[in-house]
Amino acid sequence: MERSFGFSDTGTWTGRSGQAELAPHEAGLVATSLLLAAIDVRTGTSPIPDDALTVGLAAGQLAEMLLTRKITVRTGRVAPCQPPGRADELHYAELTIIGEEARLGEHHDLATWVDYLAQTALGRVLTRVSRHIVGHRADAGFWPVHGLDSQAVMWAGDRLLILTGASRTLHHAISTPHDAAVVMLADVTGLLGQLSALSDRAAKTTMAATVAGIPDQFASVLPWLAPLTDAVAQHRARRAVRLR
């Protein structure tokens, strides 16, 4: 059953299909990109299974923390740190709260952080969407709930480019291979793959101009996913043996 987000595109799409401009404070909004891309504009629902969506959003938030220098990751462990600047005070405050809530003892492995973030990720990102998008008004296609409009949705396709970079950043930030890190990265890239698979269906909606470019955006990252998928399979096989 598809999850409904309570809104749909009630107007006629008249948006421009050119490159969208991103404000500096949006540079780290990886989870926002995921949620916007996962919603079918025509129906206001998401066909992505809840477990995949929430874990993907959680991993997206973790990616944001790394990109905004809220945390560092070394040998599979997360260490909080202070960023050099605060381009977006509200976003920084949100990540600060999440970081404080997720501190479980002295050692913070990536899997623990993702598991924790997944419990609240959907609610947090929906709240963020209403906070960051409200005030933008398109001439047509206005979404009454959360103040979301067609122009804002058009930006989602360009924001997905940020997610590709975020995934690579996470991959290279982990200096030593770690099973938990591999699983966490698989959650991000797994959701990427599901969003890519939706492109044919989504192209039939009113945001066709946005979604049409998604396959090309994913093309560069797909070859990198193959060895990652193999690593995850090996990790799960080893874990299954240990549980016997």
pTM of the model: 0.52
In a domain, 234, yes or no: yes
In a domain, 13, yes or no: no
Q: How many CB atoms lie within 10 A of CB 217?
A: 17
- Give the model's pLDDT for residue 98: 67
The DSSP annotation for 92-138 comes to: HHHHHHHHHHT--SS--BHHHHHHHHHTTHHHHHHHHHHHHHTT---
CA angle, residues 154, 158, 162, in degrees to nearest 5: 140
CB burial of 147-184 (b: ≥16 within 10 Å; e: otherwise) equals: bbbbbbbbbbbbbbbbbbebbeebeeebeeebbbbbbb
Identify the helix (H) or strand (E) that includes residue 71. Answer: strand 71-74
CA atoms lying within 13 Å on the CB side of residue 88: 20
- Mean pLDDT is lowest, of 81-90, 163-172, 213-222, for 213-222
Q: Would you place residue 232 in the very low, low, confident or very high pLDDT band (cuts 50, 70, 90)? A: very low
In a domain, 93, yes or no: yes
DSSP annotation of 66 reads H
Q: Cα separation of 71 and 30, whole Å?
A: 15
In a domain, 17, yes or no: no
Largest Cα span, the chain:
60
| pLDDT tens column, 4-15 | 544 333 332 222
In a domain, 131, yes or no: yes
| pLDDT tens column, 20-57 | 333 334 444 567 666 766 665 556 667 666 766 776 77
* Conformation bin of residue 146: beta by default, left when phi > 0, alpha when psi is -120 to 50: left
Overall domain count for the chain: 1
In a domain, 15, yes or no: no
In a domain, 14, yes or no: no
Identify the helix (H) or strand (E) that includes residue 74. Answer: strand 71-74
In a domain, 148, yes or no: yes
- Mean pLDDT is lowest, of 71-80, 149-158, 180-189, for 149-158
Q: Which structural domain, as residue segments, surrounds residue 168?
A: 3-8+23-243
Q: Would you place residue 76 in the very low, low, confident or very high pLDDT band (cuts 50, 70, 90)? A: low
